[in-house]
């Protein structure tokens, strides 16, 4: 029997509705939650992400602002801009869109954002808080969104084997941090695989929950998945497809046709993890305004 679809778009919509109610409650206290995104350079994909973040904020009744800086911006200029936003009381969340031009050290910029405004959850303070299970943390949006999807679909994680493919700081590592904690939608036994993992399929085949975040189109095929596993596809790749109107289509890290025949539940691409990322960003921003506004 084909797997049930995990509808990330529907869950994201529900979260955004809840965020709007929280924004309304803050407006009564004269606080309008505000997210400022800094976009350095002209990367077209980044420009699309940033526009959609700004639009989503405004739809939720928040202040959404984008600061565009030229690709020639120096590290000092960018850090000065971050400092200004750190001190601006109208700004509750700051996000610096990655990737940054070569002359700028991304880690230095992330460390400059006040942890209380780091709604992306990439500052070492938030990374550490997420790891120690501190309820105060801003957890990174994509893995936090995956955890919400598991919860919303009643996926049991306690005592289950979770295998994550990918150890990046934005997806794989924080995903492991969240699911290894004790508590709700956690308590899992987590394995993190990466490009040096010997025999990837041996690990994936014993996963009750398999989370693919390798950045490799259709890496995970049906023969690598245990029957009845829950499969979460974080990957996102735009590939050429002359049969579509736009000439392109989106693929994940999972080969959907074969894996959906083996798994019990699966996220599609698009419409799975993707919509959750922005929803969690809005949720983190409204929380920043509630906590520190
Ligand atoms: P990344 O920084 O490139 O990290 C990829 C990770 O996968 C690395 O740890 C790498 O191992 C590992 N890997 C690569 N090839 C592998 C293989 N053949 N076998 C096992 N492990 C392998 O990517 P990322 O930023 O985490 O993103 C991962 C994917 O998620 C991308 O497709 C990205 O577009 C997507 N993404 C989606 C969202 C969303 O909102 N839906 C958000 C973020 C990212 P090494 O460490 O050894 O190199």
Q: List, in order of start, the domains of the chain with CATH numbers.
A: 30-114 (3.40.50.10860), 139-274 (3.40.50.720)
Active site residue 161: no
- Across residues 135-139, what is the average pLDDT? 96
Based on the residue annotation, tell me whether 13 is a catalytic residue of this protein. Answer: no
Q: Which atom of ligand 1 is nearest to the CA of 216?
A: 15
pLDDT tens per residue, range 200-253: 999 999 999 999 999 999 999 999 999 999 999 999 999 999 999 999 999 999
User: Which atom from ligand 1 is nearest to the alpha carbon of 214?
Assistant: 7
The answer to whether residue 1 scores a pLDDT higher than 90 is no
pLDDT of 270: 96
Note the pLDDT of residue 219: 98
* pLDDT the model gives residue 199: 98
Tens digit of pLDDT for each residue in 149-197? 999 999 999 999 999 999 999 999 999 999 999 999 999 999 999 999 9
pLDDT at 9: 98
* Ligand 1 pocket, residues with Cβ under 6 angstroms: 142, 165-168, 170-172, 193-197, 200, 213-216, 219, 234-237, 253, 273-274, 277
Q: Give the chain as a DSSP string.
A: -PPEE--HHHHHHHHHHHHHHHHHHHHHTT---EEEEEEES--HHHHHHHHHHHHHHHHTT-EEEEEEE-TT--HHHHHHHHHHHHH-TT--EEEEPSSPPTTS-HHHHHHHS-GGG-TT--SHHHHHHHHHT-TT----HHHHHHHHHHHHTT---TT-EEEEE---TTTHHHHHHHHHSSSTT---EEEEE-TT-S-HHHHHTT-SEEEE-SS-TT-B-GGGS-TT-EEEE---EEEE-TTSSSSEEEE-SB-HHHHTTT-SEE--SSSSSHHHHHHHHHHHHHHHHHHH-
Pocket test for ligand 1, best of 9, 53, 107, 166 (most atoms within 8 A of CB): 166
């Amino acid at each position: 029997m084909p797997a049930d679809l995990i509808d990330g778009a529907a869950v994201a919509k529900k979260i955004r509705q809840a965020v709007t109610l929280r924004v309304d409650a803050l407006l009564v206290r004269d606080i309008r939650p505000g997210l400022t995104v800094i976009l350095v350079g002209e990367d077209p994909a980044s420009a699309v992400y940033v526009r959609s973040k700004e639009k989503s904020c405004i739809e939720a009744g928040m202040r959404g602002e984008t600061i565009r800086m030229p690709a020639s911006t120096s590290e000092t200029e960018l850090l000065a801009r971050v400092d200004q936003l750190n001190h601006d009381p109208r700004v509750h969340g700051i996000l610096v869109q990655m990737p940054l031009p070569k002359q700028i050290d991304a880690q230095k910029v992330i460390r400059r954002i006040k942890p209380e405004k780091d709604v992306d959850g990439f500052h070492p303070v938030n990374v550490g808080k997420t790891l120690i299970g501190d309820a105060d943390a801003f957890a990174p949006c994509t893995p936090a969104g995956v955890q919400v999807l598991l919860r919303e679909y009643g996926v049991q994680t306690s005592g289950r084997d979770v295998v994550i493919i990918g150890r990046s700081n934005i997806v794989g590592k924080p995903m492991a941090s969240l699911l290894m904690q004790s508590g709700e939608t956690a308590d899992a036994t987590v394995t993190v695989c990466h490009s040096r993992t010997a025999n990837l399929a041996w690990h994936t085949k014993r996963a009750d929950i398999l989370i693919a975040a390798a950045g490799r189109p259709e890496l995970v095929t049906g023969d690598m998945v245990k029957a009845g596993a829950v499969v979460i596809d974080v990957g996102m790749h735009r590939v050429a497809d002359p049969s579509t109107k736009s000439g392109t289509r989106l693929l994940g890290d999972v080969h959907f046709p074969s894996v959906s025949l083996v798994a019990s539940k699966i996220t599609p691409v698009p419409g799975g993890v993707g919509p959750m990322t922005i929803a969690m960003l809005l949720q983190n921003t409204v929380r920043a305004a509630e906590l520190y506004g």
